[in-house]
Structure 1
Amino acid sequence: MARTTSLSGFPEWLPEERIVEQHVLDELRRTFELHGFSSIETRAVETVEQLLRKGEIDKEVYGVSRLQQDEDEKSPKEGALALHFDLTVPFARYVVENNGYLTFPFRRYQIQKVWRGERPQEGRAREFTQADIDVVGDGTLAFRYDVELALVMIEALSRLPIPPFVLRVNNRKLAEGFYRGIGLDDAPAVLREIDKLEKIGRDAVIANLQANVGATAEQAASALDLASIRTEDTSFVKQVRALGVSNDLLEEGLTELAEVVGEAARRAPGKVNADLSIARGLDYYTGTVYETVLVGHEQLGSVCSGGRYESLATTGKKNFPGVGLSIGVTRLVTRILSQNMAKASRAVPSAVLVALNDDESWSAAQDVAGQLRARGIATEVAASPQKFGKQIRYAERRGIPFVWFSTVQEDGTVTHEVKDIRSGEQVTADPTAWQPPHEDLHPTVEAPETA
């Protein structure tokens, strides 16, 4: 289980926990690259103006400054810097600045740390890793990418040692068109209140819609009727139309959402729901929005979210519309570890410890280790020629499965043997040819055995 660190909200993993995290990252990276996404990395800081131009989370942003400024430096407010709180806003800036060097549609994945000043709790850290994929177009972007990204994320999450999950999808056009159709013109304000539904409940949201948005009781009830619709197929279209609201934007959103849900339900049945309560709090989303929950762990919140944005990346004269999804890697890994969903087979990469007979044999032991490493076998050499029993116990404490022994015979020849310290089996081996079993070559991540 993950430890509690001395600085709350800034998790640090033990070596065996880090192996689990690296396994998650490797599976995500492998999946993203299989689908043609290129890796990028953006700087950790952005200007405060850039970070806060969309959305309302300024209280969560960490500012960055030197402890002591030179007299000729700008005042703190001029060109102030802050740590990025997500990867989408920095990516939008990256696209604008590099659009002349990119080929569109541009497919990127990005796995980096982000920082957010939230109250620390399980699933919410102040420093955490996100893994994002986005596709961005030059001027236009085919809606088909909204469907494709949902399928890529379903595949990526399916490779991880996590419980069953459901990707919940909605469409901002559908929601905004519906609100306008019932006379609520401030759709972003309505969405912000609907986004609180799971946290505060239906009655409190209705009260907030009346107090904060100016909705009538009937309008608020209609907005909540829409948010209550959830289906595993495209039957939500009929249910929405049964509410009797007419609006062109609503119809456009219905068509788009039906395309995403219909295709995803065909390819990954049971893993996608149309959920018309999904709003997403950030203002830059304009169409499809996604959230993902682990079945049986819904209280953890969304582990993978995102959506379509039309004008987050813009030069003023040209837009670079995009659609993207982001996995909260640290949130997932924390739950995997705390619930013992997976564990590493060992805490170290080393598969072999080369034992020492005496101090004079250290150089020859390094030669053996070099031959093993040349074939991709992680190897350590004992630091001192203790009794073999102590060297074996050292390997056992480290989790190293094999110990290598080299013996110089009377005629000057050298014989080699390798011992599996788990089974006790010891066999003659050639350092230029011996190979450990495939499952022992590297640490593996697997579900714990159950009684």
Structure 2
Amino acid sequence: MTRPTPLSGFPEWLPAQRLAEQQVLDRLRRTFELYGFAPLETRAVEPLDQLLRKGETSKEVYTLRRLQAVDGVDDEVSLGLHFDLTVPFARYVLENAGKLQFPFRRYQIQKVWRGEKPQAGRYREFLQADIDIVDRDTLPPHYEAEIPLVIGDALRSLPIPAVRIMVNNRKLCEGFYRGLGLGDPEEILRIVDKLDKIGPSAVAELIIGAGGTEAQAKACLALAEIRSQDASFADAVRALGVEHPLLDEGIAELAAVVETAREHSPGLVEATLKIARGLDYYTGTVYETELVGYEKYGSICSGGRYDNLASAGKDVFPGVGISIGVSRLLGLLFDSDALAVSRPTPTAVLVALWSEEERAGSNRIAAALRARGIATEVAPVPAKLGKQIRYAERRGIPFVWFPASASAEGGDQVKDIRSGEQVAADSGAWNPPAADMAPTLQ
């Protein structure tokens, strides 16, 4: 077999990185469940008409086709891999509404697929961790203030740089654009969403190309420059001299989010009025999250309020949610050696092997340690003692257990190969220090 060619955009972590990923997921789960979110997993595929119903996503969707035609007929492609977890969640709510209790709080940790160009922190297959709250008919706005607090606690549970959650409100932006007299607010939102990628001059040109005047483009850019960690952003918006009822509604909703966050978690949330989010199913508050020191790579966590995504006839289930790009976050941290685990293997103890005839005794010791929750393995071969210790060192195993040999006096001994300390030990009672029971994030 020839050496395989790497496939870009589909990350495969090394074992130590996978251990780190699992511990990150465990901490996220704990935080989500502390806030009352229940776990959920949806299928990987959705009908294409559902995937393409909202947002500019057609170029990103991976479609599915069977290799072999059925009865000689090649079925039309009708399924695609989901590009986020919000669209399948909305479908799930509609299908199971009669079995769910509302407001329904769920977390979902699952892979998604997007046909994007791979680059630093951006993949074609990646893991997301989502939380959403949906209700029937109406969703109280206080949930829009709760979502960033949950994410703040979740990310603070990790040994990673600080985060800044930037919030805006689509009503504020749309009301401002309508107050300016711009005819297609949604198009202007999509243009402004490109501000960090293409810069203000290019954004102004696009606004003018979409039917705006130079003065209107200037006003849109002035709005996008406003930032604050309290409700003072409202004064800055009103100073621009634009009026519209939807603008007032958006200002009030955004102020409530910012002030709630300022009371409970100062410095976590910032009103940033350039934030728009490209997917058009968002209708109110929107979020993007920067990792301090990694701002140039863009948001590692985003989401917002959606009122019409989960709807069928008279049944409407408005919601609000946010998604952590777990693979994106980890990839950036791994590449900069900013996140690791204390050892690259779960094994805490290697039981030495004197000879193949004494393997059964080493196996009994390992079984006794495992029965008490201590990850243990037996040396692969009865090599010289120094080689067995070096094997443990290469694997990152902190302790080596020396069984009492049938040909020697004395009992079992265990050695911490980092410090060299060696003590008598009983496999039914000995425990490693708590910090060595399992790999830990660092």
> Of the candidates 406, 415, 419, which is equivalent to residue 419 of structure 1?
415
Q: Deviations over 1:205-229 (max 9, x none)?
A: 1110111x20111111111111111
Partner of 1:185: 183
User: How many Å apart are 1:69 and its aligned residue?
Assistant: 1.7
Letter in 2 for 1:222: A
Letter in 2 for 1:313: A
CA contact (8 A) 1:406 1:414 kept: no
* Alpha-carbon distance between aligned partners in 2 of 1:46 and 1:277, rounded to the nearest angstrom: 32
CA contact (8 A) 1:161 1:336 kept: no
* Alpha-carbon distance between aligned partners in 1 of 2:407 and 2:241, rounded to the nearest angstrom: 96
Secondary structure, in 3 states, of the residue corresponding to 2:28?
A: helix
User: How many Å apart are 1:162 and its aligned residue?
Assistant: 2.0
Partner of 2:12: 12
Q: Deviations over 1:369-398 (max 9, x none)?
A: 111111110000123222211111111111
Partner of 1:30: 30
Secondary structure, in 3 states, of the residue corresponding to 1:308?
A: strand
> Of the candidates 405, 423, 438, which is equivalent to residue 434 of structure 2?
438
CA contact (8 A) 1:63 1:82 kept: yes
User: How many Å apart are 1:64 and its aligned residue?
Assistant: 0.9
- The answer for unaligned runs of 5 or more in structure 1 is 447-451
* Alpha-carbon distance between aligned partners in 2 of 1:268 and 1:167, rounded to the nearest angstrom: 11
Residue identity over aligned pairs, in percent, reads 60
* Alpha-carbon distance between aligned partners in 2 of 1:426 and 1:442, rounded to the nearest angstrom: 20
Partner of 1:170: 168
> Of the candidates 90, 93, 98, which is equivalent to residue 91 of structure 2?
93
Letter in 2 for 1:342: L
Residue 51 in structure 1 maps to residue 47 in structure 2: no
Range 117-126 or range 415-424, more displaced: 415-424
* Alpha-carbon distance between aligned partners in 2 of 1:394 and 1:22, rounded to the nearest angstrom: 25
Range 16-25 or range 58-67, more displaced: 16-25
Residue 230 in structure 1 maps to residue 238 in structure 2: no
Partner of 1:259: 256
Secondary structure, in 3 states, of the residue corresponding to 2:404?
A: strand
Q: Deviations over 1:122-159 (max 9, x none)?
A: 01100110000000001111111001111101111112
CA contact (8 A) 1:409 1:415 kept: no
Partner of 2:110: 112
* Alpha-carbon distance between aligned partners in 2 of 1:427 and 1:86, rounded to the nearest angstrom: 53
User: How many Å apart are 1:409 and its aligned residue?
Assistant: 5.2
- Residues 376-387 of structure 1 aligned to structure 2 (within 5 Å): 376-387=373-384
* Alpha-carbon distance between aligned partners in 1 of 2:172 and 2:337, rounded to the nearest angstrom: 40
> Of the candidates 397, 400, 416, which is equivalent to residue 397 of structure 2?
400
Q: Deviations over 1:144-193 (max 9, x none)?
A: 10011111011111122222221000000111111111111311111000
* Alpha-carbon distance between aligned partners in 2 of 1:429 and 1:11, rounded to the nearest angstrom: 42
Secondary structure, in 3 states, of the residue corresponding to 1:435?
A: coil
Letter in 2 for 1:12: E
Residue 314 in structure 1 maps to residue 285 in structure 2: no
User: How many Å apart are 1:74 and its aligned residue?
Assistant: 6.5
* Alpha-carbon distance between aligned partners in 1 of 2:407 and 2:310, rounded to the nearest angstrom: 75
Letter in 2 for 1:41: E
CA contact (8 A) 1:172 1:285 kept: yes
- Residues 138-153 of structure 1 aligned to structure 2 (within 5 Å): 138-153=136-151
> Of the candidates 253, 266, 269, which is equivalent to residue 269 of structure 1?
266
User: How many Å apart are 1:296 and its aligned residue?
Assistant: 2.4
Partner of 2:40: 40
Residue 346 in structure 1 maps to residue 343 in structure 2: yes
Partner of 2:322: 325
Range 279-288 or range 196-205, more displaced: 196-205
CA contact (8 A) 2:166 2:272 kept: yes
Partner of 2:276: 279
Partner of 1:449: none
- Residues 359-378 of structure 1 aligned to structure 2 (within 5 Å): 359-378=356-375
Secondary structure, in 3 states, of the residue corresponding to 2:322?
A: strand
CA contact (8 A) 1:196 1:205 kept: yes
CA contact (8 A) 2:354 2:405 kept: no
Please report the RMSD computed on the Cα atoms of aligned residues, expressed in angstroms: 1.6
CA contact (8 A) 1:290 1:305 kept: yes
* Alpha-carbon distance between aligned partners in 2 of 1:407 and 1:220, rounded to the nearest angstrom: 81
Q: Which runs of 4+ in 1 moved over 3 A?
A: 408-411
User: How many Å apart are 1:72 and its aligned residue?
Assistant: 6.2
CA contact (8 A) 1:44 1:84 kept: yes
CA contact (8 A) 1:351 1:401 kept: yes
Partner of 1:67: 67
CA contact (8 A) 2:68 2:74 kept: no
Letter in 2 for 1:87: L
* Alpha-carbon distance between aligned partners in 2 of 1:73 and 1:304, rounded to the nearest angstrom: 43
* Alpha-carbon distance between aligned partners in 2 of 1:82 and 1:164, rounded to the nearest angstrom: 36
- The answer for unaligned runs of 5 or more in structure 2 is none
* Alpha-carbon distance between aligned partners in 2 of 1:205 and 1:395, rounded to the nearest angstrom: 58
Letter in 2 for 1:208: L
* Alpha-carbon distance between aligned partners in 2 of 1:401 and 1:160, rounded to the nearest angstrom: 24
Secondary structure, in 3 states, of the residue corresponding to 1:415?
A: coil
User: How many Å apart are 1:408 and its aligned residue?
Assistant: 4.3
CA contact (8 A) 1:352 1:378 kept: yes
User: How many Å apart are 1:424 and its aligned residue?
Assistant: 1.4
Q: Deviations over 1:306-334 (max 9, x none)?
A: 00000101122211000000001111101
* Alpha-carbon distance between aligned partners in 2 of 1:409 and 1:68, rounded to the nearest angstrom: 63
